[in-house]
Structure 1
């Protein structure tokens, strides 16, 4: 079987586009990077010179329709996702899609519909963190009993969010149309997906608050917090921010989760040592267990393993825990429900009906 030719559609989320390209340039079996498309011609041309044989275009459709492009990675700004996925579906090209899936439920449904024509995988990095996957195995083995509550939080500075590697401004990230929201949406969808993945459950209601607490002229929120009841009866909270004064890490672990089960507790701090702690009360999980990976397995491997899972899925395998377009829709719905709750001051029932969903967006 020949290598899967990959095209990168948009460099707007450069935080993901460039690491994917780094791994493809280093060489992953069965994959090769063909070219890139971005309307910012200078950026696309420079990227192509660094990562490809110089193939670039400012026309997304031209790249997607190339005969040597077999699949695409979509890392364009969020409101363009539905258009780009539909272009890929028309061309019969599978898609690895950046988060969030879309800015509205209507666009998310367009992408789910397109996934009936071609495979669409969400690029949820947390699902491919080696430490988290090992902890999930322990949860499934009964290390802490049934999960009943959780809290996931990130403290991130808005100054670390930029429109491209060459700018210092937020650009599309702070555009409520192109980005769809601010600090709560941007990172929050990682965590709403995390809870669906770890708890194996969907949210049935949400109470949320969002606001611009530090950067009041940003144009979007820099803070959001929401508490969800899941259909398992568990209660989980997501706090996602861009309002930290600086990037304080790794000792303070700006990204962390706390999980409680009926027979134990778990701490996840992948940017700090130890990265995870499991405390159980039943053999063989009695006491405390720690996990601390080193090298690329500590974090960067999530990009590698996500790409390999995408390759395997395109080639007909069924990798465990692979996030689909439907998972992207459900993670977005949880965020939009929180926005709606903040707007109305009331608890919002999930799933959202169409009128509520589009009003929240």
Structure 2
């Protein structure tokens, strides 16, 4: 039986309202309280979602005895401070991506969790999807032979309700830390090897005065010269998302799989023909994340994306982001040998 957790929310966010609270309650979890930087917003969010306690005092919220775990979904530049505050109170932490807005800060969050002896996971919803689990199974079974290349299409239209800080110029804004890190959260476990370097071309395409990139195309090289292409955007309203994995003995083509919903179709192409792939169950992605996190709290399972997984995904996005500034190929920080140093 999946453990039942009592949650504190740091951040009265859209993702908490539209995805996480419904998923928590579907699993029987409880939401004890919510903290926001605005007392008015905290009270309004609590009232709107039937949460007993709303506050601006993060320390008081995470110290409560009726809180087992903390979900951090404040704006990106606050993730480190809020995650560390929860860890200091001895709480288990599920943090929204990205872990922070710099590699050093992201690594510091992971190290703080290790020191505190608490579970840290990152809310990368895609790796747990039944479609992506099936794709990984195909690759690991040798269905396409030796992996050579991956192509990710993750160009979408940013909903108007999310046009705020994501289109600004402060740390954590822009499409790379919003979407590219999700791509990496999928590709890293799929290829099961580290990313080495990346080069990227950014653009500002939208009908708004964006303070940061709202579209980017990147090329990322993984160990053993596996090449990955990504196209991420806030500006494309009608294209399907997709993932392609190409090997020397076959290709996997997956349509509509880079989404928040349990949809999408997978096709395997090899020398014997074109084969539709049965996905099996199509569970809610956020319920998958929360159930795996709850099992991890009892050492009975592994989160969909651990803190270390989140750091590895951030490192790829960080290299892409640095390349947009320098115009050069940038090394991915935190290769295993560096992290072990």
- Indicate the residue corresponding to 1:280 in structure 2: 270
| Distance in 1 separating the partners of 2:10 and 2:208 | 32
- Tell me the TM-score normalised to structure 2 length: 0.88
- Indicate the residue corresponding to 1:25 in structure 2: 25
Change (3 A) 1:313 1:20: same
Aligned counterpart for 1:212 among listed residues 204, 209, 212: 204
| Distance in 1 separating the partners of 2:151 and 2:65 | 46
Q: CA deviation at 1:53?
A: 4.5
- Indicate the residue corresponding to 2:166 in structure 1: 173
| Distance in 1 separating the partners of 2:228 and 2:42 | 41
Q: How does 1:228-267 map to 2 (within 5 A)?
A: 228-244=220-236, 247-248=237-238, 252-253=239-240, 255-267=241-253
After superposition, the C-alpha distances for 1:234-254 in whole angstroms (9 at most, x for unaligned) are 00012111122xx32xxx41x
Q: CA deviation at 1:181?
A: 3.1
Q: How does 1:69-218 map to 2 (within 5 A)?
A: 69-116=67-114, 117=116, 118-158=118-158, 160-163=159-162, 170-178=163-171, 180-215=172-207, 217-218=209-210
- Indicate the residue corresponding to 2:287 in structure 1: 304
Aligned counterpart for 2:313 among listed residues 331, 354, 360: 331
After superposition, the C-alpha distances for 1:1-57 in whole angstroms (9 at most, x for unaligned) are 983211111023x1355311012223x15x322121112334332332343452211
- Tell me the TM-score normalised to structure 1 length: 0.83
Q: CA deviation at 1:274?
A: 5.6
- Indicate the residue corresponding to 2:338 in structure 1: none
What secondary structure is seen at the aligned counterpart in 1 of 2:149?
strand
Q: CA deviation at 1:313?
A: 0.1
| Distance in 2 separating the partners of 1:191 and 1:53 | 33
Q: CA deviation at 1:215?
A: 4.1
Q: CA deviation at 1:265?
A: 0.6
Counterpart contact for 1:22–1:51, Cα < 8 Å = no
**What 5-or-longer segments of structure 2 have no aligned partner?**
336-341
Q: CA deviation at 1:154?
A: 1.7
Counterpart contact for 1:17–1:75, Cα < 8 Å = no
**What 5-or-longer segments of structure 1 have no aligned partner?**
164-169, 354-361
Counterpart contact for 2:176–2:321, Cα < 8 Å = no
Aligned counterpart for 1:34 among listed residues 32, 35, 50: 32
| Distance in 2 separating the partners of 1:350 and 1:140 | 24
Q: How many residues align?
A: 328
Q: CA deviation at 1:232?
A: 2.7
| Distance in 2 separating the partners of 1:4 and 1:216 | 41
- Indicate the residue corresponding to 1:270 in structure 2: 256
Q: CA deviation at 1:171?
A: 2.1
Q: CA deviation at 1:352?
A: 6.7
| Distance in 2 separating the partners of 1:96 and 1:17 | 16
Q: How does 1:48-67 map to 2 (within 5 A)?
A: 48-67=46-65
Q: CA deviation at 1:278?
A: 1.6
| Distance in 2 separating the partners of 1:350 and 1:301 | 32
- Indicate the residue corresponding to 1:224 in structure 2: 216
| Distance in 1 separating the partners of 2:294 and 2:334 | 33
| Distance in 1 separating the partners of 2:232 and 2:141 | 30
What secondary structure is seen at the aligned counterpart in 1 of 2:205?
coil
Report the aligned-residue RMSD.
Answer: 2.4
Q: CA deviation at 1:138?
A: 2.0
What secondary structure is seen at the aligned counterpart in 1 of 2:211?
coil
